[in-house]
Chain A
Amino acid sequence: MRDPFNILVAGVGGQGNLVCGRVLAEASVRSGLRPVVGDTFGASRRGGSVLTHLRIGKIDWAPLIPRGEADIILGLEPLEALRAASKFAGDRTVVIVSQTKIPTVATNGETTEYPSLERIIESLNKLCKQVIVLDAEETLTHSGSMKMLNSFILGTMGALTQNPLSLNIIREALESIFGPDSNNILAFDEGARLRQ
């Protein structure tokens, strides 16, 4: 494992970024590693860009991932995945991105047009080593709602080979936070199944 191993969760306020960070930090501790978690968000409580930085290692690292140094980016939203990648992606970055858009809000009488998914994916491919695009909507309408997207994407990440935290340990961490009967566990398993 690279030390530190850097995971970045990118989303919009209310999507469950912070919970992702908590689950992965707990999983790191269960793996005998030291996690440092940093969250960045503006003054808005809902609807703004939110980043959760997770750095895993044998020692404590700085709370924010340096430019170009993300190993994995979990994109809960396409535009936010691209925003994160534009700063933190580099030659070794793997991006897992949900394709479901959250529209931006107009201000001062101007609506900026949300870019097409194709252009976002194309840019992500230029910036990163690998891009995995998820269509979570169909799956999650069965097992719960898009509120479970964070658990779903954690499942997909857990099934990646280039990841120091095992699928089982992330699942245990999720259970320790939500309880074993939560729909989040179902969503996690669905996410993991995608990669198996």
Chain B
Amino acid sequence: MMTASKHVTIMSGNEAIARGALEGGIGFCASYPGTPSTEIAATLQRIAEEHDIYVEWSVNEKVALEAAAGASWAGVPALCSIKSLGLNVASDFLLNLNLSGTGKGGLVIVVCDDPRGHSSSNEQDSRFYAKAAQIPLLEPSTYQEAKDIIPYALKISQDYELPVLIRSTTRLSHSRGLVTMGEIPKRTWKAEPLVENLFNVPTPHLKHRDLLKKMDKISEVFEESLWNTLPSEKKIDVLIISSGISRRYSEDAINLLDAENIGVLNLVTTYPLPNKIVSAAISKAKQVLFSEEIDPFIEEEVRSLAVELGNIPEFHGKRNGTIPAFGEMTTDLMREAIANLRGIKFGKTKQVESDLLIPRPLTFCAGCTHRNFYWAVRKVRKRTKDKLVVAGDIGCYSLGVFYDRAMTTMQAMGSGIGVATGLGQLEQFGFDSKVIAVAGDSTFFHACIPGLINAKHKGANLTFVILDNETTAMTGFQTHPGSVHQESRLNRVKIENVVKAIEPDFFARCDATDIPKLVDLLHSTINKEGLKVLLLDSICRLEVARRELATEGVSFRIDKDLCKGDRCLICVQEFACPAISWDKVIGHPVILDQLCVQCGACVAVCPHDAIKEERTS
């Protein structure tokens, strides 16, 4: 957070949400890191001590939501901030909690969706969880609203004893603008004994009935809410109904086209839909255009509401293809949609010769030991004549899918070992590939333990490789149970001990910087029968740099007499470390000292012994 003046500050949407949590009087925050939601809990964690609040990185999102519910039940206002896929993990509990209620404390869930899947394995619209669980949904559309919505959401949650879902998307969470701060209130709550009946049996259907009654009341509150912005224009030909950051794209497009008679109805209280506000607005318009991310969520609610109206306007959105029903919303999409509806022409940008824009592919950092592991996978795959599948998982190491297809499958947290458990049972049907499952350390704790136990119990034939760099590297080095560096009060849980307690048929540890040893160990292990687990002691070079432990006094160079130049290219093209570059002029690869982290992995990769370590002063 940057200080512009005492009360006005530049904040990202996520920082604004964290500030809102303080101003709302939240005392408990539980989260699991995931882009684009991480900075909410990370910000609160940095200031936890100063503000006497409790903040934890839980082992996964389901545990985070359960922990937050526990706090709320005991009267402590709670926040649970997670990414889209995280809400999938927590949804089992959420669809019980909605019926049980959240008690007196209040519970706000913030879910950050990632349209286009910039940093996600899928693209999903998490607003449907509000409808599935029949809980209120709020979508802030500005940085200021991102802050102010949290105290409001908490109040709704406390009043109706329901979890309230707040939904942000990447561009709101990760962009920054000015926010006027409010006061942080004096604490009025303290932990109290739990209320009764915190379960749904034996009559969950009656709990459901009561939930629907609560939602009817909240619907009335939303009708009167000042959060929704009504169009100010007198004459409206096109009404844009927007939510979230899409509001800004709509306003931007109208400004660029200098278009007239276009009004914007911006909805923040998007579920339950404020029917009266929407009915009044659409009854005056000839055409309605929807501007929302990702699915036609509001569009479908409005379309079904319109069935009850006499005068139905023309609807344009994701349902009729005016706006694509996938990917991010942009000003450009809105500009095109409005221009088409209004018959406005606008200039297109010039094109560049396509061969110039060569890509910068996603790759492992220089010195990342994940590259070493996948290098070993590729070597072993050759030795097995391609009879090898690698069921992958979520983390930096997911980039294995781009590294000569060294990873075969990659879906949800923990699904690598689960998928492998199935593949490891298929020998009787003629499946003859060796099966490897891969997961990182944080992912291991998050969702791999049930899969691993299933593999042991069912006798699946597979090799589970844990790439243990001892931090949650992908999202910014959050501490997890296995991290070496634990903050005070936290107890370390060692992966090796957990794995050994499950008693795999074979277990080994290996230094992931030693490529020749890694190749041989992987090869010999996959040829053993039963459940094998390899724990690779790995290194995140960014974490090392962060802790300022980088190697000094060593550099690497390529011996031009030994290097075979463009007849080989193994180090440049196949190993593909960003710190090794092809120099066309001299006809040999060169090591880029400003990118090289002196890990020395390439020394073992070169079949001609041309990469040499040198001592520098």
Contacts and interface: CB of A to CB of B under 8 A. Distances in A.
A38 B171 contact: yes
Interface in A90-124: 90, 103-115, 119-120, 123
B61 to A, nearest CB: 19
B349 A106 contact: no
B488 interface: no
Interface string A31-72: 000111111111111111100010000001111101111000
A69 B360 CA distance: 24
Nearest to B5: A29
B245 A25 contact: no
Nearest to A128: B350
A122 to B, nearest CB: 10
Contact of B542 (A46, A66, A87, A114): A46
Nearest to B174: A39
A110 B573 CA distance: 6
A129 to B, nearest CB: 12
Interface string B173-193: 011111000000000000000
Nearest to B346: A68
Contacts of A88: 349
Contact of A35 (B10, B248, B362): B10
B404 A109 contact: yes
Contacts of B366: 46
A153 interface: no
Query: Looking at A79, A106, A113, which has the most chain B CB atoms within 10 Å of its CB?
Result: A106
A61 B350 contact: no
A30 B474 CA distance: 35
A48 B364 CA distance: 10
A63 B329 CA distance: 12
A167 interface: no
B21 to A, nearest CB: 22
Query: Looking at A38, A41, A112, A115, which has the most chain B CB atoms within 10 Å of its CB?
Result: A38
A26 interface: yes
A94 B352 CA distance: 17
B43 to A, nearest CB: 16
A72 B330 CA distance: 20
A111 to B, nearest CB: 6
Contacts of B573: 106, 109-111
Interface in B392-448: 396, 398-399, 402-404
B10 A44 contact: no
B161 to A, nearest CB: 35
A160 interface: no
A169 interface: no
A45 B542 contact: yes
A67 B349 CA distance: 7
Interface in B291-326: none
B356 A47 contact: no
B358 A25 contact: no
What are the 4 tightest A-B residue pairs by CB atom distance, in nearest-first order?
A63-B175, A62-B248, A38-B175, A29-B4
Given A43-B399, A63-B172, 4 more contacts: A67-B349, A86-B351, A109-B404, A123-B353
19 contacts: A22-B2, A30-B4, A36-B176, A42-B118, A43-B362, A47-B578, A61-B248, A62-B249, A63-B172, A86-B349, A86-B352, A89-B349, A105-B360, A105-B361, A105-B576, A106-B576, A108-B404, A123-B352, A123-B353
Interface of B: 2, 4, 8, 10, 118-119, 142-143, 171-172, 174-178, 245, 248-249, 251-253, 256, 330-332, 335, 347-353, 355-363, 365-366, 396, 398-399, 402-404, 474, 542, 569, 572-574, 576-578, 581-582, 584, 592, 594-595
